[in-house]
Amino acid sequence: MSDLILGRLLLRETFSLSESAGGGRTMSLQGKEVTPLISRDELVERHEGVLGLIGALVPARWEEKSERDGYYTITDASCDYTDRARQRIGWTTWKLTLLRHGADSDVDLESRLTGAVRKNDFSLGGERWHAPPIGTYGYHTGPTLPSVMTRTTTDGAITVYRGIPAGVSPRWGCAVRDYMRGRARLRSVGAERVGVGYRVAAADWELSNGLVRVRPLLTGGSLEVAAFTGGVWRPRAWWVEVGGVQVAQWESATLLRNNAEQVILRLTASRSPVGRVVLDLTLRRGSRMVEGYLQRGDSGTLAVYLAVAEVLTNNTSYLVRSTDDAAGDRVALGSARTYTAHASGGLTKASTTALDFWLGVVAGGSSAAAGDTALDLRNQYVGAMPEVTAAVRR
């Protein structure tokens, strides 16, 4: 059985396809996924994954029809689902329409950095930075060249471009097979999720970009945030606190955005006797930090701090450990807004309905590479911008 890979979605390769060239070259595909050839969970995941592709720019790879490999936009998607539980069989029949941009040798990817510098209380100008996939080549920003640094991820070394000139949308080339390397991703119940329509288990999920990994904790904290340094994951537990009460368990998890560049996950929990707390977590490709936005319905105190206390130095817009830990790193966090340093190593804000923050580490401690210092992480947080990736002919 041959495979068709559309972005992060694996499907059974179809025996035939149809193409047309009016108003752009389009391709129509249809196929069928069947259980018990694959598990029922895989069947549901592929069904939801097909529907989750609508509007996405994807690298497409055929195992047998490799001459059709290239970059496509999914313009239409549909699925028919049948589940005969008593007979232990089920299937989904899917249909996709793809607009072909071209082979990877014909196409540039263009990152359109959108938005403005994050509003902040510290007169920070932020930094325009970008991390395309591992294996990218020919990165072009016109006559003004950005600076370059590398970070070692679980997928390999990713290049981060810093100081991208204003008003420029970088262009770069990337082999289809490399596009998903170093991506932001979310896994839940053992599978990486495609799109935003699939249910995420509140107590069983994992955000990762190969540099930062975030998980829920059932005891001893609200979140586990791990940094990949020295070839291993190094976790720390964090408490999220609302009105003096620690969030011990998240009751729901919702995917708000899920593509290779950025994943946003929304967590909610009840407050006693009534109300809720909402936490949005954002993880970007190539980033050393996870971003958080914590909200409560009424005005009061919000806080995020280490479950195992560490002594951190407060530098007005961020906090950082003053000495290297046992792994040679230094935990760091900050906010775009004024805050009060928490005694356990964290930040707190009174009389507010929202608290923004970032959590990360200075990888390499006192010998950290440029771009991984707490000061640089702060500037990248304030200047970090969502990106829209488009395919353009060379």
User: Which residue pairs, CB below 8 angstroms and at least 24 apart, start in 314-322?
Assistant: 314/341, 315/374, 315/375, 316/122, 317/120, 317/121, 317/122, 317/124, 317/378, 318/374, 318/375, 318/377, 318/378, 319/345, 319/346, 319/347, 320/362, 320/374, 321/345, 321/362
Q: pLDDT category, 301, cuts 50, 70, 90?
A: very high
State yes or no: pLDDT of 88 exceeds 90: no
Q: What is the pLDDT of residue 262?
A: 94
Give the span between the Cα atoms of 35 and 12, in whole angstroms. 12
State yes or no: pLDDT of 1 exceeds 80: no
Give the span between the Cα atoms of 30 and 79, in whole angstroms. 9
State yes or no: pLDDT of 143 exceeds 90: yes
Higher pLDDT, 318 or 370: 318
State yes or no: pLDDT of 193 exceeds 80: yes
CB 378 within 8 A of CB 337: no
Q: What is the pLDDT of residue 238?
A: 98
State yes or no: pLDDT of 45 exceeds 90: no
Token digits of residue 39: 């598990």
Q: pLDDT category, 144, cuts 50, 70, 90?
A: very high
C-alpha dihedral (148, 154, 156, 159), degrees to nearest 10: -10
Q: What percent of the chain has pLDDT over 90?
A: 77
Of 207, 216, 220, 229, the residue nearest 324 (C-alpha): 229
Give the span between the Cα atoms of 109 and 136, in whole angstroms. 10
Give the span between the Cα atoms of 50 and 255, in whole angstroms. 16
Q: What is the pLDDT of residue 268?
A: 98
Q: pLDDT category, 270, cuts 50, 70, 90?
A: very high
Mean pLDDT (whole number) for 222-245 = 97
State yes or no: pLDDT of 248 exceeds 90: yes
Q: What percent of the chain has pLDDT over 70?
A: 99
Domains of the chain, CATH where assigned: 3-102 (no CATH), 107-176 (no CATH), 185-376 (2.70.98)
Of 237, 264, 266, 269, the residue nearest 250 (C-alpha): 269
State yes or no: pLDDT of 15 exceeds 90: no
Quote the pTM value.
Answer: 0.94
Q: What is the pLDDT of residue 378?
A: 96
Cis peptide before 273 (omega within 30 of 0): yes
Q: What is the pLDDT of residue 256?
A: 95
State yes or no: pLDDT of 385 exceeds 80: no
At 41 the three-state DSSP class reads: helix
Q: What is the pLDDT of residue 187?
A: 95
Maximum average pLDDT range among 9-18, 28-37, 81-90, 108-117:
28-37
CB 326 within 8 A of CB 367: no
Q: pLDDT category, 277, cuts 50, 70, 90?
A: very high
The model's pLDDT over 96-112, given as tens digits with 9 standing for 90+, comes to 999 999 999 999 999 98
Q: What is the pLDDT of residue 306?
A: 98
State yes or no: pLDDT of 191 exceeds 90: no
Give the span between the Cα atoms of 390 and 305, in whole angstroms. 39
Give the span between the Cα atoms of 260 and 116, in whole angstroms. 21
| Residue 204: DSSP 8-state | B
Q: What is the pLDDT of residue 199?
A: 85
Residue 176: which residues within 8 A CB-CB, separation 6 or more?
59, 60, 61, 69, 70, 71, 103, 104
